[in-house]
């Protein structure tokens, strides 16, 4: 099939590359002509394992263009994969979706199946349908489908090739789109979940909100375990064997971050409030997450009474390992907090870089040893494998002090203690 993917960001590029690999002919379009030029040169602007290889493997079937309207005209299937960032109040910014709707309205001459991959609040796809109709587009010329993605950074390609489900939201009267979508994914082995447009949007938000809830839940339990001298790892393992709970997303630590969970939970809260539902649980999930950095600082303050002039090495800046993404990274919030307390912060991350604006208050090192040098305390803020395998005797030699704060529960406390260092964690007796 010939498909136009609108948006050459993280979701758009992954979708385009995987669809091309499934044998479809794809044109991925974006109004950012610099980005398109880069992609045409074979440079992939984001770091995602395997993406660059998949794009180059399928280069005969995958083209890039900044001519959005022209390509919309040419293809019968359009994927919308533009960004839906947060506004300052936490609502979802639908400006890019609105621009795409305008471009589709301009370029529609023949029948189109319009498939939304972007994460959008409930009601958005119905609005896309209404907006197109209101701009005068003949409703016989299009159908709107919601087909959310469930991609994790770092494993986006395998998540798309081997999904646990394919969610398709469509209008009840739409008799055409399901067979189009089934045809697109015919080489993927996964059950189809077929629902309404709002239903598909809700599945996406609920999925992320549920996972975020598991994290805040185990983080709250860790606070209680801490007071009773109980190892949270034992509790996670103990409850995770129950298939109704499952062992996943039960790692306690400094909290969730990234481009999805914080934004989507907040957006869902707004969707609830808009219809006079007070989402008490979603609010609590966010409150717990926001207070995780302070919890870890409080833990540290038992050992460090004055943070000013103390040198603190923060290992890990990315919101999780195997990515260079620092969006809503709890490690970044921790660095900001330590700097505001007057500490000298030295950071290291195998992939991620801090924004230039932060460079005045933090020194960022390309070598782990330099970040640790003369530190009073070392904080593990992202659970990169590299940090799990540290030689603690060597770390001790480089440090001035002896405190190790494990904010990801990824280090064996005894190994640190055996090196003569003091291990600090939450619910890690
Ligand atoms: C997430 C969803 O998993 C994915 O399905 C959705 O499409 C986008 O959002 P991603 O943001 O890539 O994917 O990260 P994920 O691996 O889910 O981790 C999110 C955050 O939760 C990270 O900060 C991670 O460190 C944290 N986390 C995860 C925990 O603190 N504890 C856990 O047990 C699991």
Query: Which ligand 1 atom sits closest to the C-alpha of 321?
Result: 25
Q: Are residues 162 and 276 both part of a single domain? A: no
In the prediction, which pLDDT does 301 show? 95
For residue 356, name the pLDDT band (cuts at 50, 70, 90): confident
Convert the pLDDT of each residue in 277-290 to its tens digit: 999 999 999 999 99
Mean pLDDT of the chain: 96
Mean pLDDT of the region 27-43: 96
CATH code of residue 293: 3.40.50.720
Max CA separation in the chain (angstroms): 74
Convert the pLDDT of each residue in 162-171 to its tens digit: 999 999 999 9
Asked whether residue 56 carries a pLDDT value surpassing 90, the answer given is yes
In the prediction, which pLDDT does 175 show? 94
Q: Are residues 206 and 176 both part of a single domain? A: no
Burial class (CB in 10 A: 0-12, 13-18, 19+), 205: buried
Q: How many domains does the chain have?
A: 2
Report helix, strand or coil for 277: coil
Atom 17 of ligand 1, nearest CA residue? 152
For residue 295, name the pLDDT band (cuts at 50, 70, 90): very high
Question: What ipTM was reported for this prediction?
Answer: 0.97
Burial class (CB in 10 A: 0-12, 13-18, 19+), 189: exposed
d(CA 407, CA 379): 7
Decide: 257 and 264 in contact? Cβ < 8 Å. no
CA 194 to centroid of ligand 1, rounded, Å:
25
For residue 47, name the pLDDT band (cuts at 50, 70, 90): confident
Query: Any idea which residues carry the catalytic annotation?
Result: 260
d(CA 123, CA 117): 14
Q: Are residues 128 and 235 both part of a single domain? A: no
Atom 16 of ligand 1, nearest CA residue? 152
Ligand 1 binding pocket includes 319 (Cβ within 6 Å): yes
Atom 13 of ligand 1, nearest CA residue? 152
CA 256 to centroid of ligand 1, rounded, Å:
7
Q: Are residues 396 and 332 both part of a single domain? A: yes
Q: Are residues 413 and 267 both part of a single domain? A: yes
Query: Which ligand 1 atom sits closest to the C-alpha of 261?
Result: 9
Convert the pLDDT of each residue in 133-151 to its tens digit: 999 999 999 999 999 999 9
Q: Which residue, 202, 68, 194, is CA-closest to 124?
A: 202
Ligand 1 binding pocket includes 117 (Cβ within 6 Å): no
Instruction: Please give the full DSSP string across 118-142, using - where no structure is assigned.
Output: S---TTHHHHHHHHHHHTT--GGGE
In the prediction, which pLDDT does 360 show? 82
Considering 160, 194, 228, which residue would you say is the last residue of a domain?
194
Burial class (CB in 10 A: 0-12, 13-18, 19+), 293: buried
pTM of the model: 0.95
Q: Are residues 65 and 174 both part of a single domain? A: yes
Ligand 1 binding pocket includes 260 (Cβ within 6 Å): yes
Decide: 247 and 236 in contact? Cβ < 8 Å. yes
d(CA 244, CA 228): 26
Please choose from 51, 118, 163, 215 the residue to mutate so as to test ligand 1's pocket, defined by most ligand atoms within 8 A of CB: 215
Convert the pLDDT of each residue in 389-419 to its tens digit: 999 999 999 999 999 999 999 999 999 999 9
DSSP code of residue 66: S
Paired strand residues for 26: 3, 62
More confident residue, 154 or 113: 113
Please count the other Cβ atoms lying within 10 Å of the Cβ belonging to residue 138.
Answer: 10
CA 208 to centroid of ligand 1, rounded, Å:
8
Q: Are residues 189 and 224 both part of a single domain? A: no
Helix axes 124-134, 95-107, angle to 10 degrees: 40
Q: Is 309 left (phi over 0), alpha (psi -120 to 50) or beta?
A: left
For residue 353, name the pLDDT band (cuts at 50, 70, 90): very high
Judge whether 267 is annotated as a binding position. no
Q: Are residues 180 and 204 both part of a single domain? A: no
Q: Are residues 200 and 294 both part of a single domain? A: yes
Asked whether residue 361 carries a pLDDT value surpassing 90, the answer given is no
Mean pLDDT of the region 77-99: 95
In the prediction, which pLDDT does 365 show? 97
Q: Could you tell me the residue range of the domain that residue 342 belongs to?
A: 196-429
Phi, psi of 82 (to 5 degrees): -90, 165
Ligand 1 binding pocket includes 332 (Cβ within 6 Å): no
Considering 149, 164, 194, which residue would you say is the last residue of a domain?
194
For residue 107, name the pLDDT band (cuts at 50, 70, 90): confident
Instruction: Please give the full DSSP string across 136-155, using - where no structure is assigned.
Output: T--GGGEEEEE----PPTTS
Q: Are residues 379 and 332 both part of a single domain? A: yes
Ligand 1 binding pocket includes 316 (Cβ within 6 Å): no
Asked whether residue 357 carries a pLDDT value surpassing 90, the answer given is no
Paired strand residues for 403: 377, 422
Ligand 1 binding pocket includes 249 (Cβ within 6 Å): yes
Q: Are residues 112 and 240 both part of a single domain? A: no
Convert the pLDDT of each residue in 205-238 to its tens digit: 999 999 999 999 999 999 999 999 999 999 999 9
DSSP code of residue 195: E
Instruction: Please give the full DSSP string across 299-365, using - where no structure is assigned.
Output: HHHTT-S--TT-EEEEE--SSSTT----TT-HHHHHHHHHHHTT-EEEEE-SS----GGGTTTEEEE
Question: Six-digit token pair at 370?
Answer: 């330099």
Q: Are residues 178 and 312 both part of a single domain? A: no
Convert the pLDDT of each residue in 324-339 to its tens digit: 899 999 999 999 999 9
Task: Show Cβ contacts of residue 134 under 8 Å, excluding neighbours closer than 6 positions.
Answer: none
In the prediction, which pLDDT does 309 show? 86
Decide: 362 and 354 in contact? Cβ < 8 Å. yes
For residue 359, name the pLDDT band (cuts at 50, 70, 90): confident
Please choose from 260, 264, 268 the residue to mutate so as to test ligand 1's pocket, defined by most ligand atoms within 8 A of CB: 260
Atom 26 of ligand 1, nearest CA residue? 256
In the prediction, which pLDDT does 296 show? 98
Question: Six-digit token pair at 335?
Answer: 């660095």
Report helix, strand or coil for 409: coil
Please count the other Cβ atoms lying within 10 Å of the Cβ belonging to residue 413.
Answer: 18
Q: Which residue, 327, 336, 263, is CA-closest to 293?
A: 336
Considering 169, 194, 219, which residue would you say is the last residue of a domain?
194
């Amino acid at each position: 099939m010939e498909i136009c993917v609108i948006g050459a960001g993280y979701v758009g590029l992954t979708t385009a590359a995987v669809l091309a690999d499934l044998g479809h002919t794809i044109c991925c379009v974006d109004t950012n002509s610099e980005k398109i030029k880069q992609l045409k040169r074979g440079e992939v602007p984001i770091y995602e394992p395997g993406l660059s290889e998949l794009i180059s493997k399928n280069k005969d079937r995958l083209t890039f263009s900044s001519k959005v309207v022209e390509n919309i005209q040419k293809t019968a299937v359009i994927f919308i994969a533009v960004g839906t960032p947060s506004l300052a109040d936490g609502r979802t910014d639908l400006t890019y979706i609105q621009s795409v709707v305008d471009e589709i309205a301009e370029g529609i001459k023949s029948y189109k199946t319009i498939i939304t991959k972007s994460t959008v609040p409930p009601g958005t796809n119905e609005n896309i349908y209404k907006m197109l109709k209101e701009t005068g587009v003949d409703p016989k010329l299009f159908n709107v489908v919601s087909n959310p993605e469930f991609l994790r950074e770092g494993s986006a390609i395998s998540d798309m090739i081997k999904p646990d489900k394919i969610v398709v939201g469509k209008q009840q009267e739409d008799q055409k789109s399901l067979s189009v979508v089934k045809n697109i994914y015919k080489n993927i082995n996964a059950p189809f979940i077929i629902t309404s447009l709002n239903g598909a949007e809700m599945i996406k938000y609920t999925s992320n909100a549920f996972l975020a809830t598991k994290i805040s839940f185990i983080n709250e339990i860790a606070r209680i375990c801490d007071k009773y001298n109980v190892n949270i790892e034992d509790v996670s393992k103990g409850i995770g064997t129950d298939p109704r709970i499952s062992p996943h997303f039960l790692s306690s630590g400094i909290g969730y971050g990234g481009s999805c969970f914080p934004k989507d939970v907040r957006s869902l809260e707004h969707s609830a409030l808009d219809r006079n539902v007070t989402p008490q649980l979603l609010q609590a999930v966010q409150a717990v997450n926001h207070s995780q950095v302070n919890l870890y600082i409080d833990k540290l303050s038992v050992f460090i009474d004055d943070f000013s002039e103390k040198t603190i090495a923060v290992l890990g800046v990315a919101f999780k390992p195997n990515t260079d993404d620092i969006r809503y990274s709890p490690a970044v919030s921790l660095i900001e907090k330590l700097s505001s307390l007057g500490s000298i912060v030295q950071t290291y991350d195998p992939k991620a870089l801090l924004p230039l604006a932060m460079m005045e208050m933090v020194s960022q090192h390309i070598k782990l040893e330099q970040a640790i040098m003369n530190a009073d305390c070392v904080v593990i803020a992202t659970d990169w494998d590299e940090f799990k395998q540290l030689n603690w005797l060597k770390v001790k030699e480089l440090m001035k002090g002896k405190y190790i704060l494990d904010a990801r529960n990824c280090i064996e406390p005894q190994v640190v203690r055996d090196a003569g260092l003091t291990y600090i964690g939450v619910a890690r007796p």
